[in-house]
Amino acid sequence: MLTAEQIIAAHKANVETLFGLTNKAFEGVEKLVELNLQVARAALSEASESTQAALSVKDAQELLSLQSALLQPSAEKAASYSRHLYDIATATNAEVAKVAEAQFADLQAKFSAVVESAAKNAPAGTENAVAFVKTAVAAANNAIESVQKASKQAVEVAEANFEAATSSAVKATQTAARNAKRAAA
């Protein structure tokens, strides 16, 4: 049976975990805001430079050259922004997942201790029922570990696909910019 001290300690630990997760979420939001401010500043500066360059264009061929020169960096910056955004989300998610895994491991340990205590205090003749409960708990733990491993593998595959798509997009933009440059010449 749980004592008042155990209940208070559990509530205190839950509150600390909640505040820890909230802080991690705010850190992620702060990083996102900082990234967006950097992007906004850079975009404003680049828009000013691009406008000045466009106003100084003397003919259509120079305009095409300017356009192709601006196209490639924009795509690379968009890919870089996406990568930073993905990194922030991944890091924040990893922190939350780490806390959740630790909480779950603690819960599993406490539940196993309760099962062991119940098994020691079980009346004679209930050995089969106790063995069944222990087997069910072990099977559930194994299933959960399998799901966690599959989730981690899915995240790794998604990250690899994201990297490949970003790389392909940047290469396609570079090719398009080179082709536009050749066409303008």
Which pLDDT belongs to residue 78?
83
pLDDT at 185: 61
Q: Give residue 127's domain range.
A: 4-184
- pLDDT computed for residue 2 by the predictor: 62
pLDDT in tens, the chain (185 residues): 567 887 888 888 888 888 888 998 899 999 999 999 999 999 899 889 888 988 888 888 888 788 777 777 777 888 888 889 888 988 888 888 888 888 888 877 877 777 777 778 778 777 788 788 788 878 887 887 888 788 778 877 877 887 787 777 777 766 766 776 676 66
Rounded to whole angstroms, how far apart are CA atoms 50 and 144?
A: 54
The residues, any chain, with a CB within 8 Å of residue 103's CB and separated by 6 or more, are 17
* Residue 35 pLDDT: 93
Q: How many domains does the chain have?
A: 1
Distance, in Å, from the CA atom of 145 to the CA atom of 161, rounded to the nearest integer, reads: 24
pLDDT value of position 1: 56
What is the reported pLDDT for 33? 94
